[in-house]
Amino acid sequence: MKIAKAKKVLLGTTLAGAIAVSASYGTYSWFTSETTAKGEVTNALVQLNNGENINESIVAVENFAPSQLVFGDWLTIDNTGTVDTFLQAKLNQSLDKPLSLDTYKVGYVALKYKVKPNDEVLKASQVKLEELFEGTTNEVTRSVSGEPVEIAEGVEIITGYLNSSELRSAAGEKEILLGDGAESGKGNKFWNLKSNEYIDLSFGVKLDETATNDYQGVTYSANLSVKAKQK
């Protein structure tokens, strides 16, 4: 009987050892969780008209005569960048003869919008531009400009008659500054162009009725330059 009990005890000890060995060399299934973090910096893009020049004409006419008024095409300035900007817009004028540019009267109308206005709004704004000259035969003695007003939902308009006091002379040329590229100042609110906003700009040029025969055959040239500065 004692021998039998001893065998049972020994057998039990052996099995326990086998179980212990088996457990230590087995595999386990774990629950897991994971999280990651990434970062990148993309610089802002300051861009007008996708980096392309404006193809439309400021003014284009032949056989221009005293008292006549000509309107240019609509020039579109599109903020195709990713940030809000301030615009510096300059109109440079010159003649191919050493004569006074004061004989050429210049006005402009500009619309700012996110959604292009319909033809009726464009026609109405063109009428406002013509009114600046008070007809094609009368000399204009006043300057009309100011803060933008809304003429249609989502459309701001600004008009201006650019007289000699608003011109900068240099080497026979004259420069008209429309937007000065700054945040504050008279009229500058209009020239703050947000991303995906547009400005349509059209000029009117009149050869004053006082032009003498010296202006026969003279060529008037105008160049518009627009620069965007990050806001």
Count of C-beta atoms within a 10 Å radius of residue 111: 24
Cα–Cα dist 90/104, whole Å: 17
Cα–Cα–Cα angle for 78, 161, 106, rounded to 5 degrees: 80
Q: Do 207 and 67 meet the contact criterion of CB atoms below 8 Å apart?
A: yes
Tokens read off for 91: 């109109």
Tokens read off for 185: 């100042």
Which class for 27: exposed (0-12), middle (13-18), buried (19 or more C-beta within 10 A)?
Answer: exposed
Question: pLDDT-derived band of residue 159, with 50, 70 and 90 as boundaries?
Answer: confident
- Please provide residue 43's backbone torsions phi and psi, each rounded to the nearest 5 degrees: -70, 155
Tell me the average pLDDT across 116-143: 70
What would you measure as the largest C-alpha separation in the chain, in angstroms? 147
Cα–Cα dist 79/229, whole Å: 11
What is the predicted pLDDT for the residue at 177?
A: 75
Share of the chain above pLDDT 70, in %: 73
What is the predicted pLDDT for the residue at 25?
A: 56
Q: What length is written for the chain?
A: 231
Residue 5 three-state SS: helix
Q: Do 103 and 212 meet the contact criterion of CB atoms below 8 Å apart?
A: no
Beta-bridge partner residues of 69: 206
Lowest mean pLDDT among 3-7, 70-74, 85-89, 121-125: 3-7
Beta-bridge partner residues of 173: 170
Lowest mean pLDDT among 11-20, 99-108, 193-202: 11-20
pLDDT at 75 over 70: yes
